[in-house]
Amino acid sequence: MGKSSFVYVIYIASTPEMVWKALLDGEFTRQYWGHDNVSDWRPGSTWEHRRSDETRALRLVGEVLESQPPHRLVITWADPKDTANRDRHSRVAFDIERVGNGVRLTVTHDDLETGSGMERGIREGWPRVLSSLKSLLETGNPLDTWAK
């Protein structure tokens, strides 16, 4: 089966440090994403994407490949049922650059199985997550995309 790549770019009136924190810190992610990203964020460590509600349901797992705060984070990304099946792990790179008075955040999602449910999910998910992240950092209010 073929693999697909997607690239998402958003400009945010903020600092690289804030955007880095907002991607990893549950205090922020639960507001605009409805999930916590749990890890010590050291290369080689695992990370988990869990519902922020009381279920703490495990939604994604992966490994930290690269971590250069506050500019670049690379992780693998998989459905928990595919933990042992490396062929089905995709890869996400977050690049955070200062541009003018703001930040350019680029999310590059590679090695997605073409036509898979994961591919459909991330194509719907990333634009909403990033738009909500921007709203939270710029206005203090996330979008209510995840509230329903």
Does 5 bind another protein (CB under 8 A)? Our answer is: yes
Does 130 bind another protein (CB under 8 A)? Our answer is: yes
Residues 103 and 90 sit within 8 Å (Cβ to Cβ): no
Nearer to another protein, 73 or 112 (CB): 112
Nearer to another protein, 40 or 97 (CB): 97
Q: What is the largest CA-CA distance in the chain?
A: 43
Rounded to 5 degrees, φ, ψ at 119 are -60, -45
Residue 62's SS3 state is strand
Does 11 bind another protein (CB under 8 A)? Our answer is: yes
Using a 10 angstrom Cβ sphere, with 0-12 exposed, 13-18 middle and 19 or more buried, the burial of residue 9 is: exposed
Does 134 bind another protein (CB under 8 A)? Our answer is: yes
Does 23 bind another protein (CB under 8 A)? Our answer is: no
Residues 75 and 69 sit within 8 Å (Cβ to Cβ): no
Query: What is the Cα–Cα distance from 39 to 73, expressed in whole angstroms?
Result: 12
Per-residue x/- track, 53-92, another protein (CB under 8 A): ----------------------------------------
Per-residue x/- track, 96-125, another protein (CB under 8 A): ----------x-x-----------------
Contacting residues toward another protein, per CB under 8 A: 4-11, 106, 108, 126-128, 130-131, 134-135, 143
